[in-house]
Homo-oligomer: A and B are copies of this chain.
Amino acid sequence: MKKFMNRAETLVAESLAGFVAAHERLVAFGADRKFIRRRSLRPGKVALISGGGAGHEPMHVGFVGKGMLDAACTGHVFTSPTPDQIIAAIRETDGGEGCLLIVKNYDGDVMNFEMAAELAGAEHRIATVIVRDDVNPGGSKRSQGRRGVAGTLVVEKLLGAAAEAGWRLDELSALGEDLNGRIRTVGVSLRGVTVPDTERETFVLHENEMEMGVGIHGEPGRARVKFATADEIVETMLEAILSDLAPDQSDKLLLFINGFGGTPVSELYLAYNCARARLARLGVTVARSLVGTYVTSLDMAGLSVTVARLEERELSLWDAPADTAALRW
C-alpha cells in the first residue's frame, strides 16, 4: 500500500504540522507540540480535551475550535497518546472551570487518559466521559463494553456546544454519560488497512466478502460475511442499531453516515439514501443528518452508520455554531 509520506516515524508529526499550518486561524500547537489547541482559548468555560491514536483524521484535531474541543492529543498511528501529552493539554487549557476528558472506549485510551487524570488530578478538576457507542452485533456480553467510534463526533459536538454555553463540569459529564445510552454506531469494512509501521494489511478480504461490526483501528469485525447490495448492508446495520436504541415515532433522530477514509462521498450519500428510506418505512423521524468522512481508519474502504436519539435541548446544541477545521456551521 503506497502512502504519501516521508518516513513512518515522522508521518504523524508532519501531518499535524500541515494541519496547523493550513488552519492557523483556528488552531495552534500546544507546548512542545504535544497537542493541538484552539488558537485563542475562551476563559470562563470548562476545557474540553479529547484525543486518541492517529489514523482517525480529521477526528479529533479537526474538531478543535469554537463550539467543540479546546485541545486534542494525537498519538502514533492507532496508538493512544501518552499521559504527558494529556497532562500538558490540561495545564494549558484549564481556565479554572475544570477539564472534561472525552475518551473513546478503547483500553489503551482509557488507561492513558486515566493515568493523566491521576497525575494531574491534584492541581485540576477533571472529569472524564468515556464514549461507548458501538453496537455489539453478536449481542454477547463482554467485560470491556462497547467501543467508542463515530458517535464520538456527536458527543464532542453536543458537549462542545454545551461548554460554550456555560455548562459546568458536572453538568457536561452528566450529559456525556446520558448520551452513551442514546447513540449507537455500527461499521462495515470492504478492505483492511495498512498500518504505516508494518506495511501489511490488517486483514485481507476477498472480492465477495466484507467485515461487519468493525471498529476504527483496522481490527477485524465481529463477522466476515458475504458482500451484498447497499440496501441489504444498510438494512443489516440499521437493524442492529434499532434493536438496541428502540426509538419510537415521537423520537427525533440524528442520522450520521461516516466514511472510513477510502470510501468516496458519492457512496456515502447512496448509503444515506438507503438508510433514510429504511427509516421512513419504519415511521421514525430523521431530524438531523450528517454525511461525510470524519472518523476514519486510515484509508479503510467502508463506512459506519450512527443513529442518535436526541432531545430538544440536544437538537439546539447540535445546531449551535461550530467553527472547526472539519465541522463548521
Task: Give the interface of A toward B (CB within 8 A).
Answer: 2-7, 11-12, 14-19, 21-23, 54-55, 57-58, 62, 190-191, 207, 210, 227, 229-231, 233, 261-274, 276, 289-291, 293, 296, 298-299, 301, 303, 328-329
Q: Which of A6, A14, A18 has its CB near the most chain B CB atoms (within 10 A)?
A: A18
State which of B15, B263, B290, B303 has its C-beta within 8 Å of the C-beta of A266. B15
Q: From residue A118, how far is it (CB to closest CB) to chain B in Å? A: 30
A229 in contact with B6 (CB, 8 Å) = yes
What is the CA–CA distance of A28 and B298 in the complex, to the nearest angstrom? 33
Closest residue of chain B to A208, judged by CB? Answer: B2
Is there an interface contact between A190 and B2, defined as CB atoms closer than 8 Å?
yes
Bound-complex Cα distance A192 to B314 (A): 43
What is the interface of chain A mostly: helix, strand, loop, or mixed? mixed
Chain B's closest residue to A207 (CB) is B2
Distance to closest chain B CB from A105 (angstroms): 23
User: What are 20 A-B pairs with beta-carbon distances under 8 A?
Assistant: A2-B301, A5-B230, A5-B270, A6-B274, A7-B229, A14-B270, A15-B269, A15-B273, A18-B269, A18-B270, A18-B274, A18-B291, A19-B269, A19-B291, A21-B289, A22-B276, A58-B265, A262-B262, A262-B299, A265-B293
| CB-based contact B21/A299 at 8 Å | no
A57 and chain B: residue at smallest CB distance: B266
Q: Which residues of B contact A191 (CB under 8 A)?
A: 2
**Pairwise interchain contact A272-B229, C-beta atoms closer than 8 A:** no
Q: Give the 9 A-B CB pairs with smallest separation, nearest first.
A: A18-B273, A18-B269, A4-B267, A18-B272, A57-B266, A15-B270, A2-B190, A261-B264, A4-B230
Contacts of A57 in B (CB 8 A): 264-266, 269
Task: Give the shortest distance, in Å, between A29 (CB) and chain B (any CB).
Answer: 13
Nearest CB of B to A79, in Å? 14
Contacts of A273 in B (CB 8 A): 14-15, 17-18, 21
* Bound CA–CA A267/B34 (angstroms): 20
Which B residues touch A263, using CB under 8 A?
Answer: 4, 299
